[in-house]
Structure formats: C-alpha cells, structure tokens
A = this chain, B = another copy of it.
C-alpha cells in the first residue's frame, strides 16, 4: 500500500494515556520510587503533554477521580492546564475500590453506606466529566468476594444492574459508559463483572450508551482476545481498550512487550470489521499499565509508538486477497498474508508520516536526548524530599 493510502489511516489513530501512568505504582510487596515520577495533576499533565508533543497521537489524558481531583480541585482549572500543555482531559475513571467503606464491594456491597458512597462518587465524576467535556465514563469494579458463601452472587448482580442504570441515566448524552471486566484480583473467589459476557450484560442493561471496555490483561490464560473484540464489534458493543501486556495474570506490563503478534491480531480484527463496513471510528484506544520499574515517560513513549506500529502493520493486510484465500480454504496462504504484514518494516512509513507532521522521527531517542527526565527528577525531588519512604506489605 502507498503512503497516500496509509497516511489517512495513521491520521485517524489516536491513543489515550492515563494520568496514573506517570505516578509511582507497585505491587502488594511495595513500590519502587522514581525521582521523576509525577505526583500531582500538574505534573501528570506536564508528562502527558510531553508524550503528545513527541508522538502527535496522544492528545487526551485519562484522569482518575480522587487521585487527580482532590476535594478542592477545580476541574475547569485542570482543563485549562491541559490546554496549555496541548492536550485535553479524556475519560473519567471513578475510584470505587480505595476507600475503607468498599471492603465488601462498592455498588454491589451488601452495605447500604458503601453503595451510597459509590453513588455520590459517581455523581461527582459525572459532574467533572461535564466540565471536562469527557466522552467516556470508564468503570472498573474491584467488586467481588474472596470466599464461597461470603455473599449472594445474584443479589450482587442485581445491585450492579440497578446502579449502572442509574449512573447511565445521569450521564450527559454526549457521554458513553464503558464497563470493564476482570476475572480476578483483587477479588479472589468471584468478581462481579468477571468476563466480557457479564460486562456486555451490565452495559446493555444500563442503557444504549453502555459499551464494553476490553482490558487486554483481564483474561484467563489462553483467552482469544481478538475473537472477543470481533464479536463485540459485530454486536455494536465494543467501547474501547485498556492496553497492556502480560505473561501470567494482570501483570500490567507495557503493550506489546510480551506477545506483540497478539496485539497485531486485535488490530487486524478491527481493520477487518472496518473493511466489512462496521463503524470503528468510535473505539476508545487507551493505555492502562503499570510501569513499576521502567521510567514513566520512556515507557509511555515506547507504548504509544508500539501501538502505532502494530496498528499500521494491521493496515497493511491485503483484505481482498485474504478473503480469496479464506474462500479457498488456503490456510497457509491466509496466514502468510498476516505474517508478512506483521513482519513488515514500518519504520520508514512512520518516519515519513512524522516528518509530514513536523514530529521527531524517533520519539524515544529524541526524548532520551532532551534531558527531560533528569530535569523533572530534580524539580520533583526537591518538592517531595520524603518521597520514596516505602510502605510495607504487612
């Protein structure tokens, strides 16, 4: 395919990055502190702006309410800050797991006060979303149980149905509700929204702007994620993605670092759907991963570039030829077409596209050469002399 055909496809592809991707995170065994890690919404916007400035395809920043919007934080101020950094506020991510009241769940808890707290929090999130003009309310639930007999699975199902309906109806019409699923962690016996089938059920019950969010790390071993994606797309129920990679469980490694061919196959199904006439323009591509050890901004740049490369590779598949192979049950022929696209060297195309956009040809090297990280490490350490005093697992 020619650059003329490919550039418009590249122009359309954007990926949202999460504010919490610039903050210190860790495992239950501890957090390793980075001097340049962002701690405030101001610093996160600064980092997010840098990633977008270097890649040109990360114009929105997902925010996590409570982490990013403290009590006294004015959302309009945040919008302004973002604009100054050349980006916008993206999806609104409520926090329904951190408060002590959520010990037995949030909207599914048997405790009235937990459910009420969740309702109040969602009200606040939707209000913020109105100010930030966010298109997506992105719901991840830690809700579930740890032991057989702990709670009534169906009572919890019904509580979730009614909460989501209520919240859906409270959203402005411009907002889409994304319902995530996850098989386990932090709930270790049953998770209320455990798989795509349950998430699709809850999203449908919530209302017509309810869609499913696929987090690539939230599947049992072996799950064929591209199949789920294709299925949801064909049912008009795919809302978007939280991208990350994993080898074992929800490892939250950077996208494409473990199994890049699997990511390519997801994009392949999306391009296939587009070829078939399905509208794929509303899919929210988002990153959600935990750079425990990698430097935050580097990891995000690596991720955004990887996403773009793998997406472009998927665009290279000759879909008419593929349909021919498939009609003739030529398994090897069809497969080789995919492999050829996957192994294609797309760096020249991307360099040309970046040049046309006045972007650096290699965002990661440009960043490494810029001194950005050292500068932020100094500034931010000075602001937080106590950072890095770790917490303890037990």
Q: Residues 242-283 of chain A: 1 if any B CB is under 8 Å from the residue's CB, otherwise 0? A: 000011110111100111111001001100110010000000
Nearest-CB residue, chain B, relative to A150: B331
Question: Which residue of chain B has the shortest Cβ distance to A68 in the bound complex?
Answer: B394
* Cβ A154 vs Cβ B234 within 8 A: yes
State which residues 103-154 of A face B: CB under 8 Å.
Answer: 103-104, 110-111, 142, 146-154
Q: B110 contacts A248, CB within 8 Å?
A: no
- Whether B147 lies near A335 (C-beta < 8 A) is yes
A172 within 8 Å of B by Cβ? no
- Would B231 and A198 count as touching, CB distance under 8 A? yes
> Which of B27, B98, B142, B150 contacts A335, CB < 8 Å?
B150
Question: A329 and B110: CB pair below 8 A?
Answer: yes
Residue A327 at the chain B interface, CB threshold 8 Å: yes
Closest to A185 in B: B27
Q: Which residues of A in the span 215-235 have a Cβ within 8 Å of any Cβ on B?
A: 220-224, 226-227, 230-231, 233-235
A390 in the interface (beta carbon within 8 A) = yes
Given contacts A154-B272, A189-B258, contact A201 B329 (CB under 8 A): no
Inter-chain CA distance A32–B103, complex, in Å, is 6
Within the complex, the shortest CB–CB distance from A226 to chain B, in Å, comes to: 8
Bound CA–CA A254/B146 (angstroms): 10
| Inter-chain contact B110/A327, CB cutoff 8 Å | yes
Check: A7 CB closer than 8 A to any chain B CB. Answer: no
| B contact residues around A378 at 8 Å (CB) | none
Q: Taking the nearest CB of chain B, how far is it from the CB of A296, in angstroms? A: 11
Q: Is A298 an interface position by the 8 A CB rule?
A: yes
Q: Mark A200-223, 1 if CB is under 8 A from B, else 0.
A: 110000000000000000001111
Chain copies in complex: 4
Tell me if A184 and B222 are in contact (CB < 8 A).
yes
Q: Would A331 and B392 count as touching, CB distance under 8 A?
A: no
| Interface residues of A, count at CB 8 A | 111
Interface core residue of A97, A110, A149, A344 (most chain B CB under 10 Å): A149
Neighbour of A157 across the interface among B104, B110, B231, CB < 8 A: B231
User: What separation, in Å, do the CA atoms of A325 and B134 have in the docked complex?
Assistant: 41
Which of the candidate stretches A18-26, A45-53, A82-90, A349-357 sits at the interface with the other chain?
A18-26
Measured CA separation A253–B253 after assembly (Å)? 25
- Among A9-17, A73-81, A163-171, A287-295, the one that faces the other chain is A287-295
B326 to A148, Cβ gap below 8 A?
no
Once the chains are docked, how many angstroms separate the CA of A246 from the CA of B233? 26
Chain B min CB distance to A208 (Å): 18
A323 CB within 8 Å of chain B: yes
A64 contacts chain B at the CB level, 8 A cutoff: yes
Please state if B273 and A154 are interface contacts (CB–CB under 8 Å): yes
Please tell me if A186 contacts chain B, counting CB pairs below 8 Å. yes
Report whether B227 and A190 are in contact in the complex, using a CB–CB cutoff of 8 Å. Answer: yes
A358 contacts the other chain (CB 8 A): no
Task: Decide if A259 touches B262 in the complex (CB within 8 Å).
Answer: yes
The answer on a CB contact under 8 Å between A230 and B28 is no
Bound complex: CA A268 to CA B154 (Å): 12
Expressed in whole angstroms, the Cα–Cα distance for A131 and B110 within the complex equals 49
Q: A322 to B224, alpha carbons, bound, how many Å? A: 33
14 A/B residue pairs, CB under 8 Å, sorted by A: A32-B100, A33-B100, A100-B390, A110-B329, A147-B335, A148-B257, A148-B335, A150-B335, A153-B231, A189-B258, A197-B197, A220-B222, A222-B248, A249-B249
Residues of A within 8 A of B (CB): 20, 23-30, 32-33, 64, 67, 97-100, 103-104, 110-111, 142, 146-155, 157-158, 183-186, 188-191, 194-198, 200-201, 220-224, 226-227, 230-231, 233-235, 246-249, 251-254, 257-262, 265, 268-269, 272-273, 276, 292-295, 298-299, 302, 322-323, 325-327, 329, 331-332, 334-338, 343-345, 364, 388, 390-394
